[in-house]
Structure 1
């Protein structure tokens, strides 16, 4: 009887080893088979935007490392819904990927009526960059720092007008939150994207704006607008002399956003892992990091997909609370 038990134990070990080996073979085969055709990088934004620039940078890396063409396709509009719809319909084999900002999941579904489930229909695989907002002002506004801005705002009978790149998103809620924290009445004007808002800022039609660092940075460097404070936990390499809201006593406004490569959740886990590994390895290269900083962003972290989802869920809760505090109603 003892020998039989011993024989059974050995069989069990052999079975377990066989299952483990089969799993390892599946992972190796899946990784080896992918990619079997050109890759599509879908961008939820227009050509020339931040996500587009990151997608084209990633396309270079994927082509170099995988030997397959990587084509960038822009699907702007509908709060990212068009790009997500494309991914949902064509991305099961991992040859269609999405390059978007986390706000498409943590902000847009709260601000607009979307037809996708943000935490079910797509999965972040690898963070490629981190960034924040910057409070910028018309170059002729008689302020040069946040204290002067607060004093100026309180002296204005009707408060201060500020622009954002879209109603209901962080550029909007950050301005309203600044007003809540400082006691300055803030009046919002929403635009369809950064370019028209920045044009009106430069033209003096609006005095202030919360904008992404990437789109404002060239204008700041050219002296066409001026930076007051950065909404990021630390100072940004592209704006080393501009203080953060954290330094100025308003940590609530020092929130980092990030861009990532996403896939459908049902893509083979082995393929997901390969996409993640190739992406992170490419974006760790010093030359690529330098290009990221030139865009006004910081290097992405090696956070796991699970950690990225947890971060998004926290941001979703925070943004939901902010929208309720300003009585915002989705369009």
Structure 2
């Protein structure tokens, strides 16, 4: 059976993908700096957690040994002192491709981003994602068959979309100022993204392809926040911010610990995250809607209970 080595397998998409691949009988090797933090992944048959201190080509080549396929899910939304967009989305891809070829792997599945474009991306995030995707395909050459995936914003249990807005809405005191309220998205379900990876792995016709991945419906950011509030059963006055105030909010929040919203995030929002051709349909996958999943996992997280406790304290 094809052994798969996964980078970023302990993340949001990685958890779901490991589950999907394990059920299909694939042995998976997950590389992580802190494998002890992800012991729950060991419940899946055939999963091997490996500690990696450095993600350079020699180290990766050693860990790729015996794996026919490599999956790269690593990405960041904001830069830190330890990780820049270029080092994470471009330089690391070069290291992965070099190590994969030298180790004898023949397949690479690469996570990019919708509308990633090295030359025309509206943000450094999108430009670096585009450059990394280009390098994965071109540097792989004839030795490495590459398929890349470009999802819109991904939702599902544990996501950084609805869960984040749920927390912010629960804590906000009546008014909710929202930057770039008219930016559009086609949220795609994490299970559909994982299924796309699995099907591509099993279909040689996907070699060299770039798949845009979107959900079945398009929403503005304002509509997504309103939907989240309605599922929580709470009322907030959403205040749409114009471009000037949106940029000001990005500059201010970008100074806070954790950088909840940055100028680069704002620039990414200037490009609508919607598909022209949905790769899920090409792969035979019917996209699932937010209505099919979001109400259940927001309820399971207990945001409504936290809001009720907060309201009692205020009253």
TM-score, scaled to structure 1: 0.29
Bigger RCO (CA 8 Å, 6+ sep)? 1
> Which structure is larger by alpha-carbon Rg, 1 or 2?
1
TM-score, scaled to structure 2: 0.30
